[in-house]
């Protein structure tokens, strides 16, 4: 069966090497990776199969990781990963949603077979698709093992992107620009919100003439009116109304690499409060982006933003940005570095971030964002959409 790899085998091996290096530093012999993005990062595995138990076992003294998952998904592993067939382990369907057996009993059997049942084993305890039951079955089946928390080990390895990964995000940026233009063109008084969202979805997936897009890890967030007072609502089937504020937080995705982009629109006369808020957000974002240099810490970037908006009287009590890139639903963030007080992560070239210093008040909100790469002397923006309050 021929393989379809997004990256060279050399790159995948280097990712695994760095992961093993981190494992060694933490005294871990075996790492069980269940985060779909981390599975993809280490092996290339790509399938909408994360609703059942699956993962990758990284053993410190074994050359290749071992993929495990539902038997009918094993061919996806053969197609999309660089792994040899003997390192692809599919369990039978009687494990799926069973009350009498569990897929992590199958995983425990693999670990026993490899002679690792008395080793130090780490799991991603705080990953979205790893359950308490999975951990319980592993511990019960491997009584001689010592368990540790391996959450975010791979996440921190992947925070610095390769040049090939950066190019994928650049392509996602072109798709994001197209999706934002589709949103601005579609949103108008009297248009149903769901119809505008459908046009955004079309743009996100159809991509550009040179390359197509994929489903994004978050839905398009497109609240209107009073619903803009909170950040994570989307469209309804109602029409846009004269005077509505509309938030547009969209994304491009190329081969699972994301480029988020947010802007705010006003339909009809923009309330002065929204105009003032937009001016503050845009000025603060521009000031912070202009200040970024490698060697700064995340909290220093946030401090620049906070100083800029201090004179306005507006307050933002949440982070203004985070590391992003390769991911699957429900999130395009990497769960590592955040631009907020106390985060002393040092910015390095080829880290990629989404800065989104939105401010949400009791009756309205303004959301603007940029995705960018840390360069040797500043940043590279992934999109060129004008930073302004769009008025129609």
pLDDT value, residue 317: 87
Measuring CA to CA, how many Å separate 251 from each of 176, 315, 327? 5, 26, 12
**Fold that domain 163-391 belongs to in CATH:** Creatine Amidinohydrolase (3.90.230)
Q: Give the per-residue pLDDT at 210.
A: 97
Residue ranges covered by each domain of the chain: 9-157, 163-391
Residue 118, Cβ density class (10 Å: 0-12 exposed, 13-18 middle, ≥19 buried) = middle
State the residue for tokens 């063109």.
185
Answer yes or no: pTM beyond 0.85: yes
Q: How far is CA 84 from the centre of its chain?
A: 28
Residue appearing with tokens 């390359």: 211
- Could you say which residues of the chain have pLDDT below 50? none
Same fold, 9-157 and 163-391: no
pLDDT of 4: 85
Look at residues 360, 221, 381, 366 and name the one whose alpha carbon lies nearest to residue 288.
381
Residue from 220, 194, 223, 195 nearest 205 by CA = 220
Tell me if 44 sits within 8 A of 65, measured CB to CB: no
Bridge partners for 346 per DSSP: 297
SS3 68: strand
Give the pLDDT confidence score for residue 269 in this predicted structure: 83
The rounded distance, in Å, linking the Cα atoms of 257 and 18 is: 20
Indicate the SS3 state at residue 387.
Answer: coil
Domain 9-157 CATH class label: alpha beta
Beta-bridge partners for 374: 379
Give the DSSP letter of residue 347.
Answer: P
Do the beta carbons of residue 254 and residue 214 sit within 8 Å?
Answer: yes
Cis status, amide bond into 330, omega within 30 of 0: yes
């Amino acid at each position: 069966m021929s393989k379809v790899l997004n990256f060279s085998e050399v790159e995948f091996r280097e990712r695994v090497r760095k992961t093993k290096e981190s494992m060694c530093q933490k005294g871990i012999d075996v790492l069980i990776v269940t985060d779909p993005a981390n599975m993809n990062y280490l092996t290339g595995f790509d399938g909408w199969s994360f609703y059942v138990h699956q993962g990758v076992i990284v053993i410190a003294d074994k050359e290749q990781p071992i993929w495990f998952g539902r038997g009918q998904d094993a061919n996806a592993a053969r197609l999309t990963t660089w792994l040899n067939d003997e390192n692809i382990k599919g369990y039978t369907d009687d494990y799926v949603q069973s009350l009498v057996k569990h897929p992590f009993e199958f995983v425990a059997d693999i670990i026993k077979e490899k002679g690792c049942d008395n080793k130090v084993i780490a799991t991603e305890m705080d990953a979205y698709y790893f359950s308490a039951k999975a951990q319980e079955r592993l511990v019960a089946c491997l009584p001689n093992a010592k368990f540790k928390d391996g959450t975010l080990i791979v996440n921190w390895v992947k925070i610095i992107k390769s040049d090939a990964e950066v190019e994928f995000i650049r392509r996602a940026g072109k798709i994001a620009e197209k999706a934002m233009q589709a949103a601005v063109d579609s949103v108008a008084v009297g248009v149903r919100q769901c119809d505008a969202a459908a046009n955004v979805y079309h743009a996100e997936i159809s991509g550009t003439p040179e390359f197509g897009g994929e489903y994004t890890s978050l839905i398009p967030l497109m609240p209107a009116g009073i619903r803009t007072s909170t950040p994570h609502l989307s469209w309804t089937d109602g029409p846009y109304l004269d005077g509505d504020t509309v938030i547009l937080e969209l994304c491009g995705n190329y081969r699972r690499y994301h480029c988020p982009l947010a802007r705010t629109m006003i339909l009809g006369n923009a309330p002065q409060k929204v105009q003032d808020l937009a001016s503050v957000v845009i000025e603060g974002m521009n000031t912070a982006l202009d200040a970024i240099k490698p060697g700064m810490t995340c909290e220093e970037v946030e401090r620049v933003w906070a100083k800029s908006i201090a004179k306005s009287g507006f307050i933002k009590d949440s982070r203004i940005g985070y590391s992003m890139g390769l991911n699957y639903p429900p999130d395009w963030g990497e769960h590592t570095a955040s631009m907020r007080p106390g985060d002393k992560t040092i910015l390095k070239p080829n880290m990629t971030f989404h800065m989104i210093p939105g401010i949400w008040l009791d009756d309205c909100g303004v959301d603007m964002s940029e995705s960018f790469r840390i360069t040797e002397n500043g940043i590279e923006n992934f999109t060129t959409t004008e930073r302004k309050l769009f008025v129609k």
